[in-house]
Chain A
């Protein structure tokens, strides 16, 4: 039997050097929720595990000078869900992280690990996509940033290179009049992964006209679905029932959706339309800065 090597750096520089040395042969591991499952099922046989849990650099949380919210990739989901700064600046993300699986998973799993898992049936990716968040990656060569929407490329696929580590998530400052809604729909146990999720972030002016709308639908395709041209229908408009119906219908037009044990593609198409309408109605009624409790 081959022995799995356990690498446990204590600084980012050390971790990046190990990543450079081992490349694909060392699997980075944050909370280990996902990697442990893969190892147990024999789907992953790396030579080494690169444990990132001792890197203080990955658990920071704070505001950049321009108001961008910076979240360390190693933050547990329950910390993201409950941190006052996240709740104030990105309530839709706090809400999404607070609905992942159960309290044990949220205490163990990290926000960076969740994103790197790139499982389509997960809560945080759609919230991050709606917020137009970016991912910061580091290597011994330096750092780079990618929008979350580009970082996620397919089922369990991301743009992380073999020598890179995800260090931070960057959430742009909220626009004036911003309000948001996150809806999660499960078809089985309350601890199930979602069948569909909707994250909606809107900026409304004093007259209730929509200055900005971002919609992301999760768990229905390999990556979160964003349709900027459909969301743009709301620009400068009031979110009337007719407009909401139109946006919801146009959003699902021609979408190629997944079928799994949680629901067929046909059911998901119907469900996304219903959830989008509910989310938009709630956004229209929400107080500025507020986030509405989502359906379970």
Chain B
């Protein structure tokens, strides 16, 4: 195993001295700059577009409008990761304020941005709908009247659109007999919860540089999904996969924002028309109309017996996916089962709808539906505990999934530690003592808990190659995108450990579809586990090959050889040795490589929700201590303890930092992050009006438990601690004020309003 003294990040120095190569910094000779004309209407028919005034501006080289797409039979009309519903620029209509109408490539960015404003467009406004619940009704204006005709691109689950509505996917779980389960309950509670839209706010905005070399397309892009982008571009431009090369340098943050094709199709089309490289980079304002988090409206009915046993659970969820589906269907599916929670419930019925509206597209966002689902599910657990007069910890412990139990999807769970994690979180905040205390200054200190089950991308696959050069350097070829999470360091450590190489002799090659083997994508906290396994396998094969070759050279039995500190030697005779690089050199090669694959299998039946949702589970629990000022409604979070299941920790420093980072992310969602819309327009599309936590907002105490088990698989930690954080804070605040809270974020004004409201709780 790599040692704890090894550097926490192999590229930390380059990172802090701004020497890490980012796509943002890439400039090429002859490169043009693109800009996008965006719709001012949430929904309108495009009657007429005249690009001529823009073309007349000096410095403008090319303008792309729908005519370039409609007049070109070699171009596919639309693309999209799960439903091909998105055109490169609007064809017959615009679907949200900010939708792409046209684009310009010019000699400099200022000219491009000025030129798009010169394009003449005639719109015919149409009725629009912004709320997912309203949009799901049969009478709502349709965002995609032609939905049924789109080429269905199904990745890992079957799509279930509801024809003639804005529902582009309906995921169901049907387990047991809901009516019987509710009838067996002593008490049935029902409540509706809401989580608003949010922005990822990556430090580096979306950026792509594209150019053509004859009929080959080269794209440098800030993307978490190089292979998805390659596949989408090949399909759109009708090219072979080998004709599209996608290269990804480290990202200045991802958080899900940089998944699937985003600027690449437009940059490629602009570059093709201009005949020169084109750089397309978004402004901060444009980030807010490009991809956000799904607003979610989730209604839960929970049947419980007096002794605290859950008999049945019904979930009705609406995921507002905006104007284009993006990964919305996947969000609705995973959100559907995430809302069940890590509980043993015999009767479960879930209806989770992905709904089009005329808002900007919503897609993958750190937590991938679990944040919204856990807010609803774990608030409900506290409401039920309160009604039953049970301690919220005991109530949860009575129902938590344990090894060998079946989840709502029918799969039997193994290696689950929800009870231990929740216990660790409770203990860290000294639960059950002082759950609510009124302090001398009138503020109230209170505590809250929440627990989370989150799935990982299933099925998925990856391959990795590990090479040893004649110079003795170990090289790791993997499709994992480095976005600050430290995946390059994790893979370097894992490979180095197998060959007992010093870390400074390991190089992790940047993802390049022409160089590295296939990987599904860098999402769902899967890389350290999936790629890590493939890298270890490849490194093990490489080690054996080196041993075999060395055995011949040293005239020894390979079983008598030892591979240590960059050398192979005969056990007990350290002077009969070869450096690893020498072994390779003696074979006449520059590099000796080995490749290995790893895949996880599974999938759910979308009509019953039965099957395998996740090949293993991300598990976490959070305990929060808050101090609330009831006069103003202001919340101070004093302590957050996050307990996560790591299985096996690869990098202790980064594992801890990832978990703290999740807590800070959750803090913003809990207390103030919210994209505000007025008639579909984002009203706070800048960082003065949309605030994210600053260092001064971080609670004075953030503590972490990294739970390990001997021999366990590595479990990803990129998102694990995020989903329970808002719920635990919300449960603490609700306890402090003695009110029901259903809506995030917990702004001072909302809390004051909750205090003024008479208590509202329904019985089914």
Q: Which A residues lie at the B interface, using CB under 8 A?
A: 1, 37, 41, 102, 185, 187-193, 195, 261, 263-264, 267, 270-271, 274, 295
User: Can you name 10 extra interface pairs (CB under 8 A) apart from A1-B110, A295-B634?
Assistant: A102-B696, A185-B632, A187-B748, A189-B668, A189-B692, A189-B693, A190-B696, A190-B697, A261-B683, A267-B752
B contact residues around A270 at 8 Å (CB): 752
A contact residues around B736 at 8 Å (CB): none
Picked from A1, A188, A261, A274, the residue with its CB within 8 Å of the CB of B632 is A274
B597 at the interface (CB under 8 A from A): no
B430 at the interface (CB under 8 A from A): no
Picked from A37, A188, A263, the residue with its CB within 8 Å of the CB of B691 is A188
Residues 386-426 of B, flagged 1 when their CB comes within 8 A of A and 0 if not, give 00000000000000000000000000000000000000000
B699 CB, nearest partner CB in chain A, Å: 12
B684 at the interface (CB under 8 A from A): yes
Cα separation A210 to B26 with both chains bound (whole Å)? 65
A183 CB, nearest partner CB in chain B, Å: 11
A–B pairs, 13, beta carbons within 8 Å: A102-B696, A187-B634, A187-B672, A188-B672, A188-B691, A189-B693, A189-B696, A190-B696, A193-B688, A195-B748, A261-B683, A263-B748, A267-B749
B747 at the interface (CB under 8 A from A): yes
B17 at the interface (CB under 8 A from A): no
Picked from B676, B684, B691, the residue with its CB within 8 Å of the CB of A189 is B691
Residues 686-706 of B at the A interface (beta carbon under 8 Å): 686, 688-689, 691-694, 696-697
Cα separation A270 to B752 with both chains bound (whole Å)? 10
Picked from A187, A271, A295, the residue with its CB within 8 Å of the CB of B747 is A187
| Closest chain B residue, CB of each to CB of A275 | B632
| Closest chain B residue, CB of each to CB of A270 | B752
B631 at the interface (CB under 8 A from A): yes
SS class of chain A's interface: helix, strand, loop or mixed?
A: loop
Cα separation A187 to B672 with both chains bound (whole Å)? 8
A237 CB, nearest partner CB in chain B, Å: 24
B527 at the interface (CB under 8 A from A): no
SS class of chain B's interface: helix, strand, loop or mixed?
A: loop
B114 at the interface (CB under 8 A from A): yes
| Closest chain B residue, CB of each to CB of A192 | B691
Cα separation A252 to B159 with both chains bound (whole Å)? 57
B114 touches A102 (CB 8 A): no
Cα separation A175 to B749 with both chains bound (whole Å)? 38
A185 touches B683 (CB 8 A): no
Most buried by A among B111, B114, B747: B747
B contact residues around A191 at 8 Å (CB): 691, 694, 696
B671 at the interface (CB under 8 A from A): yes
B749 touches A274 (CB 8 A): no
Cα separation A41 to B688 with both chains bound (whole Å)? 12
B441 CB, nearest partner CB in chain A, Å: 10
B contact residues around A188 at 8 Å (CB): 671-672, 691, 747
B694 touches A263 (CB 8 A): no
Residues 719-763 of B, flagged 1 when their CB comes within 8 A of A and 0 if not, give 000000000000000000000000000011100100000000000
With A1-B114, A261-B676, A267-B749: A189-B689 Cβ-Cβ less than 8 Å: no
B102 CB, nearest partner CB in chain A, Å: 19
| Closest chain A residue, CB of each to CB of B113 | A42
Residues 291-346 of B at the A interface (beta carbon under 8 Å): none
| Closest chain A residue, CB of each to CB of B698 | A190
Picked from A41, A187, A189, A295, the residue with its CB within 8 Å of the CB of B749 is A187
A contact residues around B749 at 8 Å (CB): 187, 263-264, 267
List 6 tightest A-B contacts by C-beta distance, closest first. Answer: A188-B672, A189-B691, A190-B696, A188-B691, A267-B749, A191-B694
Cα separation A256 to B748 with both chains bound (whole Å)? 21
Residues 104-123 of B at the A interface (beta carbon under 8 Å): 110-111, 114
Cα separation A108 to B632 with both chains bound (whole Å)? 32
Cα separation A263 to B632 with both chains bound (whole Å)? 11
Cα separation A102 to B694 with both chains bound (whole Å)? 9
| Closest chain B residue, CB of each to CB of A260 | B689
A contact residues around B748 at 8 Å (CB): 187, 195, 263, 267
B664 CB, nearest partner CB in chain A, Å: 11
A189 touches B697 (CB 8 A): yes
With A191-B696, A261-B676, A261-B683: A185-B634 Cβ-Cβ less than 8 Å: yes
A104 CB, nearest partner CB in chain B, Å: 11
B contact residues around A295 at 8 Å (CB): 632, 634
B219 CB, nearest partner CB in chain A, Å: 28
Cα separation A264 to B749 with both chains bound (whole Å)? 8
Cα separation A41 to B284 with both chains bound (whole Å)? 11
A225 CB, nearest partner CB in chain B, Å: 18
Residues 628-661 of B at the A interface (beta carbon under 8 Å): 631-632, 634
Cα separation A187 to B691 with both chains bound (whole Å)? 10
Cα separation A271 to B676 with both chains bound (whole Å)? 22
B contact residues around A261 at 8 Å (CB): 676, 683-684, 689
Cα separation A185 to B748 with both chains bound (whole Å)? 10
Picked from B110, B114, B631, B689, the residue with its CB within 8 Å of the CB of A274 is B631
Cα separation A191 to B748 with both chains bound (whole Å)? 16
| Closest chain B residue, CB of each to CB of A195 | B748
Cα separation A281 to B120 with both chains bound (whole Å)? 62
A278 CB, nearest partner CB in chain B, Å: 9
B contact residues around A192 at 8 Å (CB): 691
Cα separation A37 to B689 with both chains bound (whole Å)? 13
A contact residues around B114 at 8 Å (CB): 1
With A187-B749, A261-B683, A263-B749: A271-B632 Cβ-Cβ less than 8 Å: yes
B691 touches A1 (CB 8 A): no
Most buried by A among B686, B693, B694, B749: B749
Cα separation A188 to B747 with both chains bound (whole Å)? 7
A contact residues around B676 at 8 Å (CB): 261
With A1-B114, A267-B749: A189-B672 Cβ-Cβ less than 8 Å: yes
Residues 665-691 of B, flagged 1 when their CB comes within 8 A of A and 0 if not, give 000100110001000000110101101
Cα separation A283 to B325 with both chains bound (whole Å)? 57
Most buried by B among A191, A192, A264: A191
Cα separation A264 to B676 with both chains bound (whole Å)? 14
With A261-B683, A261-B689, A274-B631: A189-B747 Cβ-Cβ less than 8 Å: no
With A188-B672, A261-B676: A1-B694 Cβ-Cβ less than 8 Å: no
A contact residues around B683 at 8 Å (CB): 261
Residues 203-246 of B, flagged 1 when their CB comes within 8 A of A and 0 if not, give 00000000000000000000000000000000000000000000
B749 CB, nearest partner CB in chain A, Å: 4
Cα separation A270 to B753 with both chains bound (whole Å)? 11
A contact residues around B631 at 8 Å (CB): 274
Cα separation A190 to B634 with both chains bound (whole Å)? 12
B contact residues around A37 at 8 Å (CB): 688
Picked from A185, A189, A193, the residue with its CB within 8 Å of the CB of B694 is A189
Cα separation A264 to B696 with both chains bound (whole Å)? 25
B contact residues around A271 at 8 Å (CB): 632
